[in-house]
Amino acid sequence: MAKILKKAIGSSLKKAVATKKTASAKTVKNTGANSKKKAAAEKETAVILLSGGMDSAVSLGVLLEKYEAAALHLNYGQLTENRELECFTRLCDHYGIKRRLIVDVGYLQQIGGSSLTDHKMIVPRANIGSKEVPNTYVPFRNAHILAIATSWAEVIGARKIFIGAVSEDSSGYPDTRPEFYEAFEKVIRTGTKAGGAIRIVTPVIKLSKAEIVRFGNKLKVPFIHTWSCYSGNEKACGVCDSCALRLRGFACAKAKDPIEYAENIFKSEIFV
């Protein structure tokens, strides 16, 4: 009888210990999950100007390493409006970005002066060795979109505005230079309630396209959901400035570009 009683007590103790261990494991697991949720909830929000192009997509990848994204997209009557908006949506869906804002700034099309907004003008073939600003430049566009981004940042309490401007390996647009963004920060400091609290972040501005491709692949950026071409066709044209820069970037990075091209300008022409 004593043996049976001893065995029963031992079995009960083992079950109690096992139950306690299971409960402890669940507590640790729940604590870890709660900590992750708390950390995500405590992440600071930053605005990203997300055009749907590869440069803004990589900038988004950089932002998400530290911040919660508030994605801003501008429709300004550009030829590629539908393709860019599609890529914006896919990128947001891919990363699970909930806070999104799409703003129509069609007055830039009314102003004109660019082959991207004036459909009577012809988008030229790539001439990436030229020192002249091409007619694809939209006059002072980045000042307009930064102003809207700043307004939204003030409203939602964001202290960082990310933009995928590229100066080193670009078409030479004047509003993609570092000094432009330094000057605009002074405007923000002077003309906003937030003052110097809002900063502009340009994570890829001094990178070549090849470096941007490598950086993007390291961050696992889905380049399949990006659009660089100045045309809005089913396939990228492969002959405009933007396509040429992208094609050269992927080639120099020895990486495969996942989007399709109707043509490849480098197969028939030589660039320096």
**pLDDT digit string, tens, across residues 117-174:** 998 999 999 998 888 999 999 999 999 999 999 999 999 999 999 999 999 767 789 9
Mean pLDDT (the chain, rounded)? 88
Residue 181 located in a structural domain: yes
Whole-structure pTM value: 0.84
- Tell me the pLDDT tens digit for each residue of 244-259: 999 999 999 999 999 9
Question: Do 109 and 76 form a contact (C-beta atoms < 8 A)?
Answer: yes
In CATH, what number is assigned to the domain containing residue 71? 3.40.50.620
Greatest Cα-to-Cα distance within the chain, rounded to the nearest angstrom? 102
For 144, the domain range is 43-267
* Parallel/antiparallel/unpaired status of strands 199-201 and 45-49: unpaired
What is the C-alpha to C-alpha distance for residues 174 and 139, in angstroms, rounded to an integer? Answer: 9
For the chain, the domain total comes to 1
Confidence band of 4 (pLDDT split at 50, 70, 90): very low
Residue 1 located in a structural domain: no
Residue 272 located in a structural domain: no
Question: Do 187 and 220 form a contact (C-beta atoms < 8 A)?
Answer: no
Residue 264 tokens read as 């490849």
Residue 120 tokens read as 């009577």
Nearest to 164 by CA among 50, 74, 67: 50
Sign for the CA dihedral angle at 93, 154, 139, 272 comes to negative
Residue 223 tokens read as 């380049």
Say which residue the tokens 């590869």 belong to.
54
Residue 182 located in a structural domain: yes
Instruction: Give the contacts of 180 (CB within 8 A, at least 6 positions apart).
Output: 142, 174
